Amino acid sequence: MKAKINGNTLELITGDITQFSTDVMVNAANGTLMGGGGVDGAIHRAAGEELLEECKAVRNNQLHGDLLPTGEAIMTRGYNLPAKYVIHTVGPVWGEHSGEEAALLAKCYSHSLLLSFEKNMKRISFPSISTGVYGYPVEKASIVAIQTIGEFLKSNEFGKVTMVLFSREDYETYVAALEEYLSEWNK
């Protein structure tokens, strides 16, 4: 499904994000930046060892050995991925942020979009952040993602945002959220 928002395109597809050609691929990372399971592990495996080495350098030099905070984002090169860059963002673990999960998840999307925009990148692809092992319910996450992306696109000349969803069920959930967002926007 595709939607036009302020001359920008928001597209929803199913597939493997590591195979999707784009300027910037968003990684649903953990705070260590060292890879892991799900999307994070898949992106690290597909990108190759150089990505892990750059993440180690970022963690040592920019984060001074600390974890990347939930909701924040950093950019690395894409190496063997079909993307020039990877934005690593740490989504919230469902039920562990005193009711601030939605605000933190929105920050993941908005910080990633802003970082991409500042680097003049025109195409960005997102997975469904926090809906895997972090347990964020897909229906709730889809609403936050679509609203955050939609509001950003309303205010900026960006280009194309693609949500690359792993399953058909996730795709259908995001389609429903996008249809609801568009119907509210067009009122």
For residue range 129-166, what is the model confidence (pLDDT) as tens digits?
Answer: 999 999 999 999 999 999 999 999 999 999 999 999 99
CATH of the domain at 14: 3.40.220.10
Cβ neighbours of 12 (radius 10 Å): 22
Burial class (CB in 10 A: 0-12, 13-18, 19+), 93: middle
pTM metric for this prediction: 0.97
Tell me the residue range of the domain where 172 lies: 2-185
Q: Which of 23, 40, 66, 170 is catalytic?
A: 40
For residue range 69-119, what is the model confidence (pLDDT) as tens digits?
Answer: 999 999 999 999 999 999 999 999 999 999 999 999 999 999 999 999 999
Residue 40 falls in the annotated catalytic set: yes
Domain count, the chain: 1
